Amino acid sequence: MAQTRFDLAVIGGGPAGYVAAARAARLGGKVALVERDGLGGTCLNRGCIPTKTLIHGASVLAAVSGAAAWGVSCGGRPVMDLAALLARKDQVVAGLAQGVSRLLAAAGVTVFSGLGQVPAPETVTVSGPGGQERLSARNILLCLGARPTLPPIPGLDLPGVVTSDALLDASDVPDTLAVIGGGVIGMEFACLFASLGSAVTVIEAAERILPMVDEELQKRLIPLWKRQGVTVVRGAAVSGIVPRGDMLAVRHAGRGGETETVCRKVLAAVGRRPAPVDGIVALPGLVREGPFVAVDAGMRTSIPGVFAAGDLTPGPMLAHVASAEGMVAAANAMGGNEEMDYEAIPACIYTVPEIAGVGLTEEQAAGRGLAVAVGRATYGANGRAQTLGEPVGLVKLVADAADGRILGAHLFGAQASELVAEAALAVRNRLTVRQLAATVHSHPSLSETLAEAARSLLGEQSHAA
């Protein structure tokens, strides 16, 4: 039987891989996708989607708990049925995974289940439950994703020490939780479990948590989290974890010497690294940048006909970046000449409250030698925020003082993850503060905070004394 020749073989079915496969097929290509786990990758199965489902469940609990302020009587103290919430999470994930499968089928993509490897040029082998298949492909796209990083800390193998994957299926809410790592994953889980009733301590080795977040926003957020039950300890290197009766003690050293945090459960959330290429790609000449695979702006690797996208490459480790890179790679594999543009990549952190940002922070702009102008608007002065009962929030615009061009926008508050899209459009299209201020925004809406921040920068505030 003649072997099928594919125009593109994609290894990895996460946000980069399945989006790339669908686009290449719609561009007329014959496309294969190889995935050894679940379609949708980490984002859909163990990351973005399940965590945000749980976070929304916790927000529903908070809303019901505060319902009396809106004249709604719930007849007693509401409690979280964790099993029901986990079932809801699984339902959402399963539904979206089925959607990905239907998307690929509709596009005409052939999906193979198993481990994909590249032993020779234009060749992909698939090792699955039924044995090994050999595919021939004119182009190959590597979308291997990333894996959790576990530092060499003694005691990480103790019962009660978990990664984010295990915590997604926790059968109970610990009364106390220590989180090792103050990055995005650590802070999102910290706020989630604080919302569910845990007393949480975040232990971060660096002096700053969430290093990608504007420093002014960080300083305002830490006290807010403290009131929610999240204590942040910075500049504290964890030296080990030891049993302490039926509890765990996390030992860490900082400016005040060595101390320990005693807790019921420990989450190790110190980041992620690209999945290893060794053992997957046997072709010589693949250039690396540290743990990443080097690519050009068109997502081409150093090997002709081999592309890479997503967490395997040096760009931001974000699902929407992976999808954008996958689409660029797919177009170029099909004969196009597209390039990635990283200037206006929005980033969202689903803490309580949400954090979002795009473009340069004030510190980054100043570090480039730019004369910076800053405008701010608070949620407290916004009518829609007050009607929602969400008066805590800040929008900060960073502009070039010379020409008024918007360089970045950074915000925290209700629906920050939605508001940042308008800011990304402004940064992407090099709009000025004057243009944003002159754009009529609906009232009452949270989006008015963006216009108000622009007017603040111009000295023309409408809703601030």
DSSP string, 248-259: EEEEEEETTEEE
Q: Which residues of 394-424 are buried (b: 16+ CB within 10 A; e: fewer)?
A: bbbbbbbeeebbbbbbbbbbbbbbebbebbb
pLDDT at 464: 59
Task: State the burial class of residue 325 (Cβ atoms within 10 Å of its Cβ: 0-12, 13-18, 19+).
Answer: buried
Domain ranges for the chain, please list them.
Answer: 5-147+273-333, 161-270, 347-458
The listed CATH number (3.40.50.1100, 3.40.50.2300, 3.40.50.300, 3.30.390.30) that belongs to domain 347-458: 3.30.390.30
Each residue's pLDDT tens digit, 81-129 = 999 999 999 999 999 999 999 999 999 999 999 999 999 999 999 998 8
Segments of the chain scoring below 50 in pLDDT: 1-2
8 Å CB contact between 446 and 420? no
Specify the 3-state DSSP secondary structure of 400: strand
Q: Which residues of 338-352 are buried (b: 16+ CB within 10 A; e: fewer)?
A: eebeeebbbbbbbbb
pLDDT at 1: 34
Same fold, 5-147+273-333 and 347-458: no
What is the β-pairing status of strands 115-120 and 123-128? antiparallel
Cα 147 to Cα 179: distance, rounded to the nearest angstrom: 18
Question: Among residues 358, 457, 449, which one has the least CA distance to residue 401?
Answer: 457
Write the CA distances from 136 to 21, 33, 119, 139, integer angstroms: 16, 12, 11, 9
φ, ψ (nearest 5 deg) of residue 58: -65, -35
Tokens 């469940």 correspond to 57
Q: What is the dihedral of CA 225, 347, 206, 256, to 10 degrees?
A: -10
pLDDT at 151: 86
Each residue's pLDDT tens digit, 19-69 = 999 999 999 999 999 999 999 999 999 999 999 999 999 999 999 999 999
pLDDT at 182: 95
Cα 276 to Cα 29: distance, rounded to the nearest angstrom: 28
Q: How many CA atoms lie within 13 A of 200 on its CB side?
A: 29
One of 252, 410, 441, 443 is an active-site residue; which one? 443
Tokens 């302020």 correspond to 69
Q: What's the CATH class of domain 161-270?
A: alpha beta
Task: State the burial class of residue 371 (Cβ atoms within 10 Å of its Cβ: 0-12, 13-18, 19+).
Answer: exposed
8 Å CB contact between 247 and 264? yes
8 Å CB contact between 247 and 261? no
Report the 10 Å Cβ neighbour count for 110: 17
Active site residue 443: yes
Dump strand ranges (E) for 185-342. 199-203, 230-233, 237-244, 247-254, 257-263, 265-268, 272-274, 288-289, 292-293, 306-308
Specify the 3-state DSSP secondary structure of 148: strand
pLDDT at 3: 64
**Which secondary-structure segment (H or E) carries 411?**
strand 406-412
Q: What is the dihedral of CA 170, 350, 98, 171, to 10 degrees?
A: 10
8 Å CB contact between 287 and 294? yes
pLDDT at 461: 78
Dump strand ranges (E) for 224-316. 230-233, 237-244, 247-254, 257-263, 265-268, 272-274, 288-289, 292-293, 306-308
Architecture, CATH, for domain 5-147+273-333: 3-Layer(bba) Sandwich (3.50)
pLDDT at 2: 45
pLDDT at 66: 92
**Which secondary-structure segment (H or E) carries 85?**
helix 82-107
Cα 124 to Cα 9: distance, rounded to the nearest angstrom: 7
